[in-house]
Amino acid sequence: MIPCKLPSDTEAPPDADQAPQQAHEQRSNETLPLAHYRQLFDLAPMGYCLLDAQGLIIEANLAAARLLDQTPETLVGQKLSGFIFRDDREDYKRIHNRLLESCETQACELRLARNGGTPSWVRLEATAVAKSDQPRLLHVALTDIDLHKCNEEQLKLAAGVFTHAREGIMITAADGMIVDVNESFSRITGYSRNEVVGQNPRLLSSGRHEKAFYAALWRDLIEKGRWYGEIWNRRKNGGVYAELLSISALRDRHGRNRNYVALFADITERKHAEEQMLETKVNLEAKVNDRTKQLRAVAAQLMMSEERERRMLAQELHDNLGQLLAIIKIKLTSLATGLPQPTVNNLVELVDQADQAVRTITLNLSPPILHTLGLRSAFEWLAEEMERRYQLTVHLDSEGELKPIVDEVQAMLFRSARELLINVARHAETSEASLSFLCNESRLTLAVSDNGRGFDPGPSSDDKNAQNGFGLSSINERVVNIGGEMEIDSSPGNGTTITLTIPISISAKEHRP
């Protein structure tokens, strides 16, 4: 038994004035816990609602009001079902009915309708409280899971992409060991997921790449966080295939590589097609080259024929027409007296002009000196002609023993040198030029140089240099057609050097069939 303390006879009774104050303090101590719990209810991060059996909101805290886009006061008297997204109202109705049938806690995930906004996901947990003397009440807790559902959808999307992507996907740990692959990986490589998880990707190595290739790959992954390129790997059945591979590093919050994701596509068919195209290209180029050689051979033969015709025509003019004009001149000068001397002189002058015209035409067609004394002497005569007709001093330079040259090639070189020197006289704005001729065991080289104005050897330069003879493009075409080359070295203000090179096998008579 607990003894009670009774007032002694000597204790004075309580002061009547202190009684009201003590009663007030007792009531304050009783209401303090209630206010404290009320504050916890209102400020709780989870939404709480108290509903009656019809689903009307009796009370709601601030979190619930925020989720329902209302205030606690405006929520009172409204049905919670009115805030449920229309597609999810059946789920809510089903839970509400179960709560009325039993007191077991019910839960589901559904969406709340926002005013003019996107529905938001919440988790609803409800419990029914029934007392014998009171109507059944429903306690509802609402948890915001909108961000969770968004992340969940993103994960589902990523999983769908991973599973159904046409490209092969391989995920490795930081040490390179495989942690997961998708179905396309298995389809392309022939390895199942169980066969490769925990293995090193080197099991796919084809052996076609050097160690330096893989060292550079890993260096880029570690330093740059990515690598992209083509690589040859080997399938489970031993077949080698080409893939277009992209590897990206996944880093943690400290910047350390945590995983590597490799995405690749089988490009073997494309590589085979490229090889076939390359082979076709090589074959076509070979055919084009063969055809070009044939055409150049025909062009060379035509050029040779043209040179022979020029020589024959020049010979005919020199031997026939030239001699006839010489005879006419002799006859005119020996005519008997009786004709006026001025008339005879005029006739003789006309005959001289005709003879000079025949000589010029003969020279242009095929200079006789070229066939009588050879190319070196013809160049010396050409230098004298350029000095006499154009006041252009030509410095000759020749090296090596000049072997006998095919007549048609010899004529082409002479006419090319003549035309190049005439171009210098007309366009280079200089009074000097050089003509060099080099002969060695493998080739003939003819070069015409000047220190004049120069030009830009572009496509339009030929129009500036083409005169009565053939321009630079014609010279180049003739040289190339017989297997030679022409090189132009010129720029504005720096003079010009044009070099013709012809193989000995083409030009020397001893090499001709």
| Per-residue pLDDT tens over the stretch 327-353 | 777 777 776 556 676 777 777 778 777
| Mean pLDDT of the region 133-162 | 84
Tokens standing for 20? Answer: 């009201």
Instruction: Examine domains 165-266 and 368-511 and report if their fold is the same.
Output: no
What pLDDT, on the 0 to 100 scale, is given for residue 30? 53
The pLDDT value given to residue 462: 46
The CATH superfamily label for domain 35-143 reads: PAS domain (3.30.450.20)
Tell me whether residue 478 is exposed, middle or buried, using C-beta atoms within 10 angstroms of its C-beta: 0 to 12, 13 to 18, 19 or more: buried
Amino acid at 288: V
pLDDT tens per residue, range 191-211 = 999 999 999 999 999 999 999
HSE (side-chain half, CA atoms, 13 Å) at 168? 22
Identify whether the C-beta of residue 492 lies closer than 8 Å to the C-beta of residue 434. Answer: no
CATH superfamily of 368-511: Histidine kinase-like ATPase, C-terminal domain (3.30.565.10)
Task: Read off the tokens for 129.
Answer: 């409280």
Write the DSSP assignment of 153-165 as a string of letters. Answer: HHHHHHHHHHHH-
Of 71 and 365, which is predicted with more confidence?
Answer: 71
Amino acid sitting at position 215: A
Average pLDDT value for the chain: 82
Residue 122: its pLDDT value, please?
A: 93
Residue 48 in contact with residue 41, Cβ under 8 Å? yes
CA distance 344 to 44: 138
Give the homologous superfamily in CATH for domain 165-266.
PAS domain (3.30.450.20)
Q: Write down the pLDDT at residue 201.
A: 92
Of 463, 466, 465, the residue nearest 454 (C-alpha)? 465
259-281 pLDDT tens trace? 999 999 999 999 899 989 999 99
CA gap 122, 143 in Å, rounded: 5
Percent of the chain at pLDDT > 70 equals 85
Q: What is the DSSP letter of 7?
A: P
Q: How many Å apart are CA 264 and CA 188, to the nearest integer?
A: 10
The predicted structure's pLDDT at residue 456: 87
C-alpha–C-alpha distance, residues 370 and 394, integer Å? 18
pLDDT for position 3? 39
Give the pLDDT band of residue 496 (cuts 50, 70, 90).
very high
pLDDT reading at 430 higher than 50:
yes
H or E stretch at 78: none
Whose tokens are 């796919």? That residue is 204
CA–CA dist 394, 448 (Å, integer):
9
Handedness of CA 367, 373, 377, 381 (dihedral sign): negative
The token pair at 339 is 């004709």
Split at pLDDT 50, 70, 90, the class of 507 is low
Q: Which range (104-108, 151-155, 423-427) has the least confidence? A: 151-155
Residue with structure tokens 């004009």? 325
Buried b (16+ CB within 10 A) or exposed e, 200-209: ebeebeeeee
Burial (CB < 10 A; 0-12, 13-18, 19+), residue 49, is: buried
Per-residue pLDDT, averaged over 285-300, amounts to 82
pLDDT per residue as tens digits for the range 475-485: 888 888 878 89
Of 487, 486, 482, the C-alpha closest to 511 is 482
H helices, E strands: number in the chain: 17, 15
Partners of 115 in beta bridges:
none
Q: State the pLDDT at residue 8.
A: 44
Per-residue pLDDT tens for 5-20?
334 444 445 555 555 5
Domain ranges of the chain: 35-143, 165-266, 273-366, 368-511
Q: Name the pairing type of β-strands 120-131 and 134-144.
A: antiparallel
**φ, ψ for residue 103 (rounded to 5)?**
-100, 15
Global pTM value: 0.45
